[in-house]
A and B are shown apart, each in its own frame.
Chain A
Amino acid sequence: MKLRYVLTRIFYALIILFVVISLNFLLPRLIFTDPAEPLLRGIPEDDLILRAAVRAEYGLDGSLFRQYFVYLGKMFTFDYGRSYVYKAPVFSVMFSKIPWSMILSLSAMLISVITGIHVGARAAKHRGKRPDKVLLGAATLTTALPSFWIALVFMMLLCFAVPVFPFRGAMTEGYSLTFHEWIFWIGVLLGVVAAGVSYYFTKKVFLLFVVPVGAFVLSALIAVPPADLADIAYHSILPIFVLCIGSIVSYALMVRNSMIAAVNEDYVTTARAKGLSERQVLFGHTLRNALLPMVTSIGMSMAGVFGGSVLIEKIFAWPGMGGLLLEAQNVGDFQLAQGIMFFYSFVTIVCNLLTDFVYHRLDPRVKLA
């Protein structure tokens, strides 16, 4: 991959980021004539000292340019302001909720990618027959029915009519999560060391990525006591299931369409002529090429992985980023909502960038437009 290409894309992404930050800055100033108004709502009007102090704290004093530069500086030091409801910096509030969203969305993504590929490949192999028809029928259902409605129906079925699963929260009520921090960090450290050592001996690059991530997940699992883990797992089954339904169908459909289109290509005929078995042709050649659009799709949905699905988290009362956004709306915590908006944009930009790189690496035919 050309260095020039990489740098151009990064530069371009930075420009977009810059524009989004500026929009974020202008937003309250466009909505209100006095952007300090929502922050000053609780303070009596004759308390001028306090009002001036609040203005200074949120950087709303001084000329517009001065405010803008102060704001830019704050963005780069990750100072997104202070949530007045949580009485803590917005950054730390958001970061405490992201792991919860990731539990749901990463698990759902893993399961749906693997299952989706299998289902889609099978449907492509038996095109026109039962598996294909089932997939196409499921596709119509899931695109036409809103995802939150499917969640509601399953909740009614499995939580109330036949009370199998719990219907709220991530843990049984009244219990809080115990997390042994030092075990966690030791595990991560060991993982990084192991990655370096294994790379040194085997010279395989993918180990550098896979081993630390694996160590991260493993130490997280060890640092939480098993009763808590089981509790969280039990509570997450239904939300993950609901999230998977839509994803599986869409990935499967994508794979199926790509494989059907690929089957008509020349290289498939060549492979068959070479004498390869049908299975090898399908999974060795066509699948690899069919995965390309899936890579794009996965990349685009990474922002959702960090941000969580607002609808599902509302229905199941899951304490993730989506729930945080709704809470900010209910309570009127403006700083929090703005911080979340910026975070979503940031993650989207970064994920688009990485997707571009990965896609280009996988398919060099793509033009650099």
Chain B
Amino acid sequence: MSVSGFFGKAGLFFVKAARFVWTRFLCPVGTFFKRLWKHRKGRFGLIVVAALVFFALFAPLLTPYDPKTPSINEGYLPPSWTHLLGTDGNGVDILAQILYGTRVSLIIGLTSGLCVTLVGAFLGIVAGYYSKWAGGAIMRVVDVLLVIPTLPLMVILHKYVSSSYVMMIFIFIAFGWPGTARIIRAQVLSLKNGNYIKAAELFGAKRNYITRRHILPAVSHLLIMNCALASAGFMIAEAGLSFIGLGDPSAVSWGQLLVKAEGGAFTSRLWAWVLAPGAAIFFAVIGFMQIGYALEELLNPKIGGTGMTARAWGEATDAQIEEAEEQMREPSPEEAAAIREQVRSER
């Protein structure tokens, strides 16, 4: 093969790979976001999450203050033009703390949410579709884990093992996956008896293949929603645990702001100190939840969605979506009357 030939072949390969990635991944993802954007709730959620990520990444550019250097002479200041939300007891600007705190909350929430969903989905599918024996064992473990109280456990571990957010994430994942697993398993059990799966099995399809081609797409909407809601839940949980004192007191997070607020804000009548972290948590959680709800409304066949899998939804053209929505829509009373007439006349 000549040099030019080699380059030609390499070039062709790259072009093919690029086209593959474009059509199979980027386009669907792009249309996915576009469709989400059109949906009202989805748009709101996307804006909020994008804002959060923006704050987390560009916090140093947005505020001149450092959230860790104290200067007590400026402590307990009310909101003013120099400190938009005022300062806390150590003189640290509250707005700066909120912006930097986005990082911790996002990281903890997203990491825990993603891992919980992955682990829960994996174990749920195994329990529902693969061997009965393994499934039984997994469900017993789920039962035991659901009974163990996480709060006293965290109290014990916090005191005697170094306290940090890594430990917190670990506990969240270890005690969060049973919830997801249960949901996924229930769904998988109901899917298992579907005709198309039985047909595929009769044709000799291996279990892994069926999981990949049929089951996963069918539960994907559950997974995405679970991920969104779980992340939101873990954000609130992190705030709560920091508030009790089980977090890392030297870290900057919304929960830590509230801890200090409990001591200092009341008698100083500094409302911003208490309201700001609450508002931050509120918007973050709402953002994630709206995305989750939006996806559910769009994908869950039972409440008027298109009944398509997430992947198909991303890949389909607009016309196909219109047609599917048309089919799933409940008829208005006039239409219902018309259809009834038609059926009666056909008899």
A: residues with CB less than 8 A from B are 16, 19-20, 23, 27, 31-32, 38, 140-141, 143-149, 152-153, 155-156, 159-161, 167, 303, 307, 310-311, 314-315, 325-326, 328-330, 332, 334, 337-338, 340-341, 344-345, 348-349, 352
Contact = CB atoms under 8 A, between A and B. Distances in A.
A270 B156 CA distance: 57
A152 B147 contact: no
Q: Is the interface of B mostly helix, strand, loop or mixed?
A: helix
Contacts of B232: 144
A328 B243 CA distance: 16
A153 B289 contact: no
A369 B278 CA distance: 42
Given A160-B267, A352-B147, A149 B277 contact: yes
Contacts of B262: 152, 315
B289 A143 contact: yes
B192 interface: no
Given A311-B244, A348-B149, A149 B156 contact: no
Contacts of A332: 159
A155 B281 contact: no
Interface of B: 143-144, 147-149, 151-153, 155-161, 232, 236, 239-240, 243-246, 258, 261-262, 265-267, 269, 271, 274-275, 277-278, 281-282, 285-286, 289
B304 to A, nearest CB: 14
B258 A20 contact: no
Given A149-B278, A329-B159, A338-B156, A156 B285 contact: no
Given A311-B244, A345-B148, A345-B149, A337 B155 contact: yes
Q: Is the interface of A mostly helix, strand, loop or mixed?
A: helix
Nearest to A340: B152
Contacts of B274: 149, 152-153, 156
B25 to A, nearest CB: 32
A156 B155 CA distance: 28
A31 B239 CA distance: 26
B243 A311 contact: yes
Nearest to B286: A144
B158 A140 contact: no
A335 B259 CA distance: 27
A144 B281 contact: yes
Contacts of A16: 143-144, 147
A20 B152 CA distance: 13
A156 B266 contact: yes
Nearest to B278: A149
Given A161-B269, A315-B262, A341-B153, A38 B143 contact: no
14 contacts: A16-B147, A20-B147, A143-B285, A149-B239, A149-B277, A149-B281, A153-B274, A311-B240, A325-B152, A325-B155, A337-B155, A341-B153, A349-B147, A352-B147
A147 B258 CA distance: 12
Contacts of A140: 286, 289
Contacts of A349: 147
B155 A329 contact: yes
B240 A155 contact: no
Contact of A145 (B155, B244, B281): B281
Contacts of A19: 144
A314 B155 contact: no
Contact of B161 (A31, A145, A152, A348): A31
Given A144-B285, A149-B239, 19 more contacts: A16-B143, A144-B281, A145-B282, A146-B236, A146-B278, A149-B258, A152-B258, A153-B278, A160-B266, A307-B149, A310-B244, A326-B245, A329-B245, A329-B246, A334-B160, A338-B156, A340-B152, A341-B149, A345-B147
